Structure 1
Amino acid sequence: MKPLRDVGLATPRRVRSTERFEPFPTILVLTTRGGTERHWVAAGQALQRVLLLATVHHLATTPISQPLEIPAIRRMLANPERGVEAQMIIRVGCGPPAAAPRRPLAEVLVTDD
């Protein structure tokens, strides 16, 4: 059992409910054939496509970059012989839709009166 996040609720709950999650979530590793700035931009564009496509198919995603900041883990996910470098880890699974609350337009729109 894992606690559910309360993202998107106007008033966060004091006690979080729990839900069973899939025991083996899908973990993707986004890679590029190199690690230059050009490759970083390409990885960002690919990540955008993956996240949007998952959304279209009603899948929940979680980009995970922290493990890649550890050199040993980054090397483990790379393939130096092929010049492949890990750029992002993405968890994909099923989950309830969530949306962050938005401020009313009148609070953020400035007009010239």
Structure 2
Amino acid sequence: MATVEKESIAKSNRALASMVTSQTVDIAMVAIDAVLLLFLLGFINVGYRRVIHVPLNDLSNFLGELANGNGDLGVNLDNSRCDEIGEIGSTFNRFKDKIAVTIDSVVDSIFSIM
């Protein structure tokens, strides 16, 4: 009977060791997946900042300077991008150029009156 019990205990130990190994592998896979997910989120964040956040922040700062009267109408926004942000830059540059022409016209009219 002792031999049967020893075999049963050995079989149980092997099954338990197999379960522990399986759970260890599962935990390792979850940890690897978590690290990969963090790297992916980091790359997405860097891409978002480079592609969307920084250009919109530059546009906001430029418009804020103009609104406060400190902006330079001779400076153009970056319109080299082929997306909506580049289109906003191009459209605003045209708007700014028309305002500059209007201001020059008003200044010329004032000097012609004097």
Instruction: Say whether the fold is shared (TM-score over 0.5).
Output: no
Query: How high is the TM-score relative to the length of structure 2?
Result: 0.25
Structure with higher RCO (Cα < 8 A, 6+ apart): 1
Query: How high is the TM-score relative to the length of structure 1?
Result: 0.26
Q: Is the strand fraction higher in 1 or 2?
A: 1
Q: Is the helix fraction higher in 1 or 2?
A: 2
